[in-house]
Amino acid sequence: MTKTAADGFGPDQIAALFTRDGRYLCARWGRPVAPVIFGLSDETLEIFRDVTRAALAHTGHPIAETDPEMGANLMCFFVRDWDELAELPDLAALTGQEDLPQRLTGSAADQYRIFRFDVDGGIRACMTFVKMGGRLADIHPAELAEAMVMRALLTFAQDVTPSRELAELIRAAYDPVLPVAASDPSHALRLAARLPRL
């Protein structure tokens, strides 16, 4: 099969990025993204804002100050330790998970992401929780911001590493001709066809 310039991102590789437990799902944002970030210094916060704006500009998707229903719909929470999440008001109502701090404390995860969807399957909201310790402690803020934003733009079934090729894949998924959400693995063929060719 002909490979794309996306460093091996042929249809099979793309399908694997969006398949969890045998189920394919590739969804993108269906409404303007209204981001808000908690737990960062002002200097680092500005870096995250700039990276978020740049990533959305690359996809051609709009950014907004507020979402009419939710206020903010892309929410990033940064903590030193998962126990700090217990101090967030209405966390259970926000996430739909009563024991999230306890579960994350008992795991080896350094990040956790929750998506919410509109009726048409497009992303309605994304909540990202990040523990700024361990392997993330020494990562440059711009590098971390790029990774967090890219992982929130599509429903990746696994962690992905920022790269030019991944950025091209994300941009392809935001082609207005494609549906905002797809559950048929043949969708990966349509994504592959939109990537730059060797």
Every domain of the chain and the residues it spans: 1-27+160-198, 29-153
The pTM of the full predicted model, rounded to 2 decimals, is 0.90
Percent of the chain, pLDDT > 90? Answer: 70
Instruction: Give the domain 29-153 fold.
Output: Chitobiase; domain 2 (3.30.379)
The pLDDT tens digits of the residues spanning 138-169 come to 788 899 999 999 999 999 998 899 999 999 99
The whole-number average pLDDT for the span 91-118 is 90
**Three-state secondary structure string covering the chain:** CCCECCCCCCHHHHHHHCEECCEECEEEECCCECEEEECCCHHHHHHHHHHHHHHHHHHCCCECCCECCCECCEEEEEECCHHHHHHCCCHHHHHCCCCHHHHHHCCCCCEEEEEEECCCCCEEEEEEEEECCHHHCCCCHHHHHHHHHHHHHECCCCCCCCCHHHHHHHHHHCCCCCCCEECCCCHHHHHHHCCCEC
What pLDDT is recorded for position 8?
A: 58
Residue 18 pLDDT grade (very low, low, confident, very high; cuts 50, 70, 90): very high
What pLDDT is recorded for position 1?
A: 35
What pLDDT is recorded for position 90?
A: 87
What pLDDT is recorded for position 198?
A: 46
Whether residue 86 is predicted with pLDDT greater than 90 in this model: the reply is: no
Whether residue 185 is predicted with pLDDT greater than 70 in this model: the reply is: yes
